[in-house]
Structure 1
Amino acid sequence: MRSAFTTTSPTNADGQGGFGKDSRIAVEKTHGSAAGSEAEPSFWALRAVGDEDARALGIEIRATSIKAAIIDTLTGAFIDGASTKIKEANPEEVEAGVRKMVDHFQWKGTVGCSITKAVARGLGCHSHSFSALDRDVGNMLKTMIPDSVVVTMVHTEAAGYSELAFGLEKGDLKEDDHLVMVVTIGAAMGSVVYLNGHRMRNTGLNSKYLNDFEPNLAALQAKYP
């Protein structure tokens, strides 16, 4: 289930929320379905990974390349990897590249895909909301590899979960009272906040505060080639 708490700041015009009056910041959590039952995994992306074979195929989709690796989800270790080039991140090129990676490993299990905002735009998804990009691009990728369970995240979010689970703190940041912000900086800037290991949604960080990063960077690159 998803629980939420209230802060004091207005919701943005795009509905993504901010730090102001009556906005609601959702914190994604999972709980057991009945008394005495085991709780579902906190990291919902790994629900489809079984205990006997805790591997998944991770695919990173970028503007001109697609990289993939089989991952041990218990340790975060890379087992095997491959990559391929694409001309641009349009639906045809992305589908061909993703299928090539899946076929290369003859993979039938869980697939985790990370995307950039530039890739999302190339696929026709233009929202500033990470949740919307996860959903919309994820639905497209599911049609490209229908035989697999597919989980899609913007790469900032995926990097955050990876750091929380396998980084220097080795899981300690998932405990109570830990508030963690992850920021990725490249051609675009993205940010995700985690509370006790769970992503906080509708903070407005990306739609309100980081939305001008790309045009400002482009202006600087044009001024200082």
Structure 2
Amino acid sequence: MLEGMQIFGVDIGGSGIKGAPVDLDRGDLAQERHKVLTPHPATPEGVVECVREVVEHFGWTGPVGATFPGVITDGTARSAANVDKSWIGTDIRRLVSDRLGGAPVTVLNDADAAGVAEMHFGAGRGRTGTVIVLTLGTGIGSAVFTDGRLVPNTELGHLELDGHEAEKRASSKIREDEDLSWEQWAHRLQKYLAHLEMLFTPELFVIGGGVSRKAHKFLPLIEGVRAELVPAALQNNAGIVGAAMAARATA
């Protein structure tokens, strides 16, 4: 395969940091991804060292796209929900580039990256109108599209739900931490989706994150949501693919 068809994507999450070269013609990983656990505390220095480890695992020396679980403007973190607060104000693009020996680096919000990949290669492909891609993991990430165009950094996981941040009630991690049944968790998710539907009236919800592999266990339990509700096609690789797409766009 030609090197020019591939760009490296790395997905920084609250529990793991994973990456792989991406075949941007197919919208899929070119090699099996490599994953390391997110250090605790998840400080910039510790996390960026893990990013270097993931990239060097493949001997990669070209452009790199990286996701981050927070608001990103011009490569700099403006929020940090599920990682150390010392990230706020950090120029992630420069920090990662320096650790990778000056390689070109592009950084974007993790859910935005997953959403871009799903819209181009996955469950949102060819869809118009308003589409909301949600990533259910350590928190809840969101990516909102109107006629295929991204509204960046929406952070809808922090909307209030039952007096709490939505992601403190309905994330995949909360389901595990509180040992909720699929039915209990689906009920919480249903309330959250109904709230989003009231605000945005989307035609389609795409449900991503690692738990999307088990979509058959909870999506059929969600009732009363008018929008179409589908699992992410790229599942938990969407962030890696979207990161690589963003790096290609800025190369």
TM-score normalised to the size of structure 2? 0.53
Kept in 2: contact 1:123–1:137 (CA 8 A): no
CA deviation string 1:76-132 (max 9, x = no partner): 121112222343222232122111122222212121112224676326235xxxxx8
Whether 1:142 and 2:94 are equivalent positions in the alignment is no
Residue 214 of structure 1, CA deviation? 4.0
Residue 187 of structure 1, CA deviation? 2.9
The alignment partner of 2:46 has SS state of helix
Map of 1:172 onto structure 2: 126
Map of 1:61 onto structure 2: 12
Residue 160 of structure 1, CA deviation? 0.5
Q: Distance in 2 between matches of 1:199 and 1:164?
A: 10
Could you tell me which of 115, 121, 126 is aligned with 2:68?
A: 115
The structure with more strand, counted as a fraction of residues: 1
Residue 72 of structure 1, CA deviation? 0.5
The one-letter code matched in structure 2 to 1:149 is P
* Bigger RCO (CA 8 Å, 6+ sep): 2
Residue 55 of structure 1, CA deviation? 0.8
The alignment partner of 2:4 has SS state of coil
Whether 1:159 and 2:159 are equivalent positions in the alignment is no
Measured at CA, do residues 224 and 144 of structure 1 come closer, stay the same or move farther in structure 2, by a change above 3 Å?
same
Kept in 2: contact 1:110–1:149 (CA 8 A): yes
Q: Distance in 2 between matches of 1:56 and 1:220?
A: 34
Alignment of structure 1 residues 1-225 onto 2, 5 Å? 53-80=4-31, 81-88=33-40, 89-117=42-70, 121-122=83-84, 124-126=86-88, 136-168=91-123, 171-173=125-127, 177-201=128-152, 205=156, 208=159, 212-216=165-169
CA deviation string 1:111-168 (max 9, x = no partner): 1112224676326235xxxxx8xx8444433333252221222221111011011114
Structure 2 runs not aligned, ≥5 long: 71-79, 181-251
Measured at CA, do residues 59 and 123 of structure 1 come closer, stay the same or move farther in structure 2, by a change above 3 Å?
farther
Q: Distance in 1 between matches of 2:105 and 2:81?
A: 17
Q: Distance in 1 between matches of 2:178 and 2:54?
A: 39
TM-score normalised to the size of structure 1? 0.58
The one-letter code matched in structure 2 to 1:179 is T
The alignment partner of 1:172 has SS state of coil
Give the structure with higher Rg (CA): 1
The structure with more helix, counted as a fraction of residues: 2
Residue 219 of structure 1, CA deviation? 9.3
The alignment partner of 2:39 has SS state of coil
Q: Distance in 2 between matches of 1:205 and 1:56?
A: 29
Aligned positions, number: 164
The alignment partner of 1:109 has SS state of coil
CA deviation string 1:54-81 (max 9, x = no partner): 2111112223432111100121121112
State the superposition RMSD in angstroms.
3.5
Kept in 1: contact 2:157–2:166 (CA 8 A): no
Q: Distance in 2 between matches of 1:152 and 1:165?
A: 18
CA deviation string 1:14-65 (max 9, x = no partner): xxxxxxxxxxxxxxxxxxxxxxxxxxxxxxxxxxxxx971211111222343
The one-letter code matched in structure 2 to 1:124 is S
